[in-house]
Amino acid sequence: MAAAAGEPKKIIIDTDPGIDDAMAIFVALRSPEVEVIGLTTIYGNVYTTLATRNALHLLEVADRTDIPVAEGSHVTITFCTQEDKKLRIADFVHGADGLGNQNFPPPEGKPIDMSATHFLVEQAKLYPGKVTVVALGPLTNIALAIQQDPSFVKNIGQIVLLGGAFAVNGNVNPAAEANIFGDPDAADIVFTSGADVLAVGINVTHQVILTDSDRETLASSKGKFAQYLLKILEVYFNYHHDAYSTKGVYLHDPTAMLAAINPSLITYVEGAVRVQTNGITRGLTLLYNKQKRFAEITKWSDQPSVKVAVTVDAPAVLKLVLERLME
Ligand SMILES: O=c1[nH]cnc2c1ncn2[C@@H]1O[C@H](CO)[C@@H](O)[C@H]1O
């Protein structure tokens, strides 16, 4: 991939690290096309407190403690009204510590004295139209930014999110993908906000697989990211071997990250997306392609269009992930 012309694109990574989050963060830090201006944290793969700790730890591993970490919401956006207040945490995918049960020492750094929402709002205002948020977890922080600042939607350049299962089964249950299921109300706010949104769902990321033999390729590198990731990937591989018949692991977060870095790696369609927020299909994402003019007003009528990824150049994504992590 050619280096981007001009200034690198500023990105904020909203993350719940997470093994594939760690890979995506490292890929971003090794990508000259982007400048990571901050990490914001969220629950999902781990609780938010641990997500913050892991975000600080990963930046220390990368020698990038110059990048600020802002802690995000500990609860879903409807926490006060919701009857079931229990968060769904995917520690069975990533290990109890979120990073493959390696029990790394606590980080030395601290998060900044500002909430994730405030940080997102402030950075979007500081660089209008120039900041891309790459959202790798449930969308609570982004929805809160949209609610708290009416100009956020206009100020933010793009929101590239890993989430949804468009016309395929989910990974939490047949209806829902994990990040959308984590906070469906927040996701619906983001999809209907009018912001420039690109959703990369598991209909796309399930095509990008790091196989057992790719893991051996990674092992042949002496690079610090490759060596670190080999340790934490064990748990992620074990989970995939048990849960899927695929011989490898899905590269969800790195695929979304590379779609933000180089949009030509994917193709997308446009339409209105709504999220089911209750019942047995809670977390379902449904795209209306605007092909039919319905006679009646529906919940999709007059909703802004978003972009939904439909194909990916999987070999190119895999090649870039390996190259950048093995440097
Ligand atoms: O089976 C699963 N349940 C919950 N979370 C999962 C599962 N598989 C992967 N992820 C996590 O959720 C995001 C993609 O949906 C990714 O961040 C991935 O690590």
- 202-212 pLDDT, tens digit per residue, is 999 999 999 99
Domain hosting 213: range is 9-326
Backbone angles phi, psi at 19, to 5 degrees: -70, -50
| Residue 4 covered by a domain | no
Contact of 62 with 92, CB cutoff 8 Å:
no
pLDDT over threshold 60, residue 4: no
Q: Ligand 1 centre and the CA of 287: distance in Å?
A: 21
- List residues near ligand 1 (CB under 6 A): 18, 20, 45, 90, 93, 171-172, 177-179, 202, 252-253
The CATH number given to whatever domain includes residue 151 is 3.90.245.10
* Active-site residue, 14 included: no
- 102-156 pLDDT, tens digit per residue, is 999 999 999 999 999 999 999 999 999 999 999 999 999 999 999 999 999 999 9
| Residue 3 covered by a domain | no
Q: Ligand 1 centre and the CA of 128: distance in Å?
A: 32
| Residue 2 covered by a domain | no
| Residue 128 covered by a domain | yes
Alpha-helix residue ranges (DSSP H) falling in 171-251: 178-182, 184-191, 202-205, 212-219, 224-243
Cα separations in angstroms, 296 against 66, 157, 211, 272: 53, 33, 48, 16
* Active-site residue, 16 included: yes
| Residue 258 covered by a domain | yes
What pLDDT, on the 0 to 100 scale, is given for residue 221? 96
ipTM, two decimals, is 0.95
| Residue 161 covered by a domain | yes
| Residue 72 covered by a domain | yes
Mean pLDDT score of the chain: 96
Domain count, the chain: 1
Global pTM value? 0.97
Percent of the chain with pLDDT over 90: 94
Q: Ligand 1 centre and the CA of 253: distance in Å?
A: 9
What pLDDT, on the 0 to 100 scale, is given for residue 5? 62
